[in-house]
Chains A and B, each alone.
Chain A
């Protein structure tokens, strides 16, 4: 996942062209990079796919926080494979964004100076080993619910990237559930870690779907363009309905007293997250915002000599090749 509160751009294109474009989308045709598209569609997609890519990159940090402390060789290997996948997702999402006419370096600069966002979830810390299980199970679980419908999104490169990403995410969610199950069935200390992780990450996971529909003003255009396929609340409900029985299966306490099966609706009722906390995190005041951006900025700055060096070498080689011809 990991695109929240993506504001749709208004569009001022020729009404005839717009109507023809909308008709293509309504016929479920895929829009490809060289096709005509409204400027608003292009800009909204850059924002959404770019934010998604950034989330994959920043998302390496909370998981990387535990790679060096993973408790067994197998868990370490699984976590490395997962983080490697996330970086790979970032790579092909950046490629999808580049087809819209913005370079990866430009997107990176916008992440680093705060003009672009990444998912709020990665501004929360991973504090015990069960968090790594919970991140796979809850965070990747929420991402899958968001991304499965996006496989049918109207923009071809995004749709194809989502199909690939979803396959890997379901492996992530399964390994996460397996890791936390081991803890929930383990010693009292391990069970305490598992409960602590669920209690702490439950509401931040719900926030991943973005604000409540009644406060989400930017959805209509994106839904018409099939950039957004479902409302925030629909997806959030799906996540709650899927996850509550899993928490019960693990023998853990539910993280919210408001969770109750509602026979009439055929869904679980649940408490809203604290939306003022959500907007604080979005504004940069989450527990880890400053550290996460500082880590990415440091990596980029410290790596400048490497990028420059490799580029200089590639140019020398190209020049030598030309000279030899």
Chain B
């Protein structure tokens, strides 16, 4: 395989990591000042801040590997919907607080396992980012899991809302474990694990927490897809970008 092709796959992989944290960080930041209790305002801002910081690392490296002089900011603010490589799950709207925390938990569980594997990546830059961010993500997971349990096993209303959130979001979980040529190349080079190899650990972790939360995983193997390949995002992403990218698009070439 030529060096050019290799860099292309590596870049795609890094965009997948960075776009997940960028889009989820944006979604979480939408809560600012509107959460149910002050401690949650602090925790949500903190989570969003971590995710945006992680985005700077992943997209910064993506620009470097791509070798076309793109900065992390260029990649975040000047690409269109079809260029984004995030999971569909993270672009789903916030909904109520329960839906936001369920989305966070379903993502955190995958994210923590993925980062754990990436810590032994053959690429030391990837390993270093994974090492640094895994500490933050361990905390995200602890917090989102605790909240899912607390609300799932809380009142009748909170239980019903959490079950609704799980039913709505579960069809977006399967995409995390799908593989394509990019993944095959990452596996071959020892840069990243085969996504499918994370499923068993994920199911065990998520199954245990959801059972404690007295929630029932929907009985369906169906999964939406198209985010991590860019083939077909949801309608939600475009609206998110119109807001996120507005200043950069309206006043191109300015420094901020």
Nearest CB of A to B147, in Å: 8
| B30–A129 CB distance below 8 A | no
Which positions 86-141 of chain A face chain B at CB distance < 8 Å?
A: 87-88, 90-91, 94, 104, 129
Q: Which of A80, A94, A189, A303 has the most CB of B within 10 A?
A: A80
- Give 1 or 0 for each of B177-190: 1 = CB within 8 Å of chain A CB: 00000000000000
Chain B residue contacts of A310, Cβ below 8 A: 147, 150-151, 154, 158
| B55–A71 CB distance below 8 A | no
Query: Within the assembled complex, what's the spacing in Å between the Cα atoms of A304 and B161?
Result: 13
| B42–A87 CB distance below 8 A | yes
Known: A129-B247, A306-B98, A312-B155. A73 touches B42 (CB 8 A): no
- Give 1 or 0 for each of A33-68: 1 = CB within 8 Å of chain B CB: 000000000000000000000000110110110011
| A309–B56 CB distance below 8 A | no
| A313–B150 CB distance below 8 A | yes
Chain B residue contacts of A76, Cβ below 8 A: 29, 52
| A68–B30 CB distance below 8 A | yes
Interface residues on A, range: 35 or more
Query: Within the assembled complex, what's the spacing in Å between the Cα atoms of A183 and B255?
Result: 8
| B39–A91 CB distance below 8 A | yes
Nearest CB of A to B242, in Å: 10
Known: A73-B55, A73-B56. A299 touches B42 (CB 8 A): no
Known: A69-B244, A72-B77. A306 touches B33 (CB 8 A): no
Is B34 interfacial (CB-CB < 8 Å)? yes
Which positions 145-164 of chain B face chain A at CB distance < 8 Å?
A: 147, 149-151, 153-155, 157-159, 161
Interface residues on B, range: 35 or more
Give the contacting residue for A60; candidates B41, B72, B153; CB below 8 A: B41
| B157–A83 CB distance below 8 A | no
| A303–B77 CB distance below 8 A | no
| A80–B48 CB distance below 8 A | yes
Nearest CB of A to B98, in Å: 7
Known: A67-B32, A299-B36, A309-B158. A182 touches B45 (CB 8 A): no
Q: Which of A77, A104, A300, A309 has the most CB of B within 10 A?
A: A309
Q: Which B residues form the contact surface with A (CB < 8 A)?
A: 22, 26, 29-30, 32-42, 45-46, 48-49, 52-53, 55-56, 59, 72-73, 76-77, 96-98, 147, 149-151, 153-155, 157-159, 161, 243-244, 246-248, 251, 253-256
19 A-B contact pairs sorted by A residue (CB < 8 Å):
A60-B33, A68-B30, A69-B244, A69-B246, A73-B72, A73-B73, A74-B73, A80-B49, A80-B52, A179-B256, A187-B253, A299-B35, A299-B36, A303-B40, A306-B37, A309-B154, A313-B151, A313-B154, A316-B153
Q: Which A residues form the contact surface with B (CB < 8 A)?
A: 57-58, 60-61, 63-64, 67-77, 80-81, 83-84, 87-88, 90-91, 94, 104, 129, 179, 182-183, 186-187, 189-190, 295, 298-300, 302-314, 316
Closest 8 CB pairs of A and B: A303-B36, A309-B158, A309-B154, A64-B32, A60-B33, A84-B45, A306-B36, A71-B256
